[in-house]
């Protein structure tokens, strides 16, 4: 029997993009079962006039307020409003800044959105993202040698979202689907620079995800073997054998989040590049 969910309003106020707030908020809310947040996101709040709208929204739908605001005047006004309304509020970066300041003994610069500067790292991530999107799901196989990491796996092993996560870390990631009875590109087996990593999951998990995929697309003419457990098991064995034959590391993603899978891949890549001269991340 499904339990009823408790809903609450969650206001995320930022003078930058709000990405930091959303990441922290979602990491926190996922820890509470049967509770569902209603997110109100307010990015680029840098003037008192912009804060007026935020305060109006909080007054209309009171709830938890998380914020990252560098301007002291705007921050103070938001806090006063929250106190008057009796709603909880947290500047999520204050404890972090306190630790950094006490340990480093330096003054905070109060730069808005400093983590999003258009520096070399930013452009590296953009280049990686462009490469990854161009090489998704076996597209443009000819220049896989330009990748940092190539993921191989059967359908529904989270290859694409894992590649996108890696690209956001500045890693050029391509992925190649493993399809029964369809030969792989010959040069995949002879790559020199990229680390090739295989992804697998349990047959039960893949079958469940594929069934949900078919239902969501309302597909009527799909191939029955796509969700057949025996066929899925055959595909998994094929993937395991391919990785074993070529010495590729294999990761079981059955009970892993995208972040956990990507973290293990990045650890493998750090070891890999340390063993091969000339490779830099």
Task: List the chain domain ranges.
Answer: 6-115, 120-275
Domain 120-275 has CATH 3.40.50: yes
Strands 149-153 and 173-177: parallel
- The whole-angstrom separation of Cα 231 and Cα 237 is 10
Mean pLDDT (whole number) for 49-66: 93
Q: Is 159 annotated as a binding residue?
A: yes
CB contact at 8 A, 180 and 234 = yes
- The whole-angstrom separation of Cα 168 and Cα 118 is 14
At the topology level, CATH places domain 6-115 in Rossmann fold (3.40.50)
Q: Is 153 annotated as a binding residue?
A: yes
Q: Is 18 annotated as a binding residue?
A: no
Return the beta strands (E) in the chain as ranges.
6-14, 35-42, 64-68, 89-91, 149-153, 173-177, 195-200, 250-252
Mean pLDDT (whole number) for 3-17: 81
Query: What per-residue confidence (pLDDT) applies to 186?
Result: 83
% of residues, the chain, pLDDT over 90: 48
pLDDT reading at 214 higher than 90: no
Q: Is 162 annotated as a binding residue?
A: no
- 120-275 and 6-115 share a CATH fold: yes
């Amino acid at each position: 029997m499904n339990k009823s969910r408790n809903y609450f309003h969650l206001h995320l106020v930022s003078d930058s993009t709000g990405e930091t707030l959303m990441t922290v908020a979602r990491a926190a809310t996922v820890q509470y079962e049967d509770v569902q947040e209603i997110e109100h996101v307010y990015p680029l709040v840098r003037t008192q006039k912009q804060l007026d709208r935020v305060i109006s929204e909080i007054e209309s739908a009171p709830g938890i307020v998380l914020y990252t605001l560098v301007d002291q005047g705007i921050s103070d006004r938001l806090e006063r409003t929250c106190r008057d309304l009796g709603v909880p509020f947290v500047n999520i970066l204050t404890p972090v800044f306190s630790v950094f300041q006490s340990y480093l003994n330096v003054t905070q610069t109060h730069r808005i959105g400093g983590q999003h500067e258009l520096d070399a790292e930013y452009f590296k991530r953009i280049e990686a993202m462009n490469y990854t999107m161009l090489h998704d799901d076996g597209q443009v196989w000819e220049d896989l040698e330009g990748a940092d990491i190539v993921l191989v796996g059967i359908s529904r092993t989270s290859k694409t979202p894992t590649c996108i996560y890696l690209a956001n870390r500045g890693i050029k990631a391509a992925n190649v689907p493993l399809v029964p009875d369809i030969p792989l590109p010959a040069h995949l087996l002879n790559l020199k620079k990229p680390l090739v990593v295989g992804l697998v999951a349990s047959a039960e998990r893949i079958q469940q995800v594929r069934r949900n995929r078919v239902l969501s697309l309302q597909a009527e003419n799909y191939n029955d073997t796509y969700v057949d457990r025996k066929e899925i098991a055959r595909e998994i064995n094929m993937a395991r054998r391919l990785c074993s034959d070529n010495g590729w590391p294999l990761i079981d993603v059955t009970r892993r989040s995208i972040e956990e899978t990507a973290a293990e891949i990045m650890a493998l890549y750090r070891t890999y590049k340390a063993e091969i001269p000339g490779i830099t991340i």
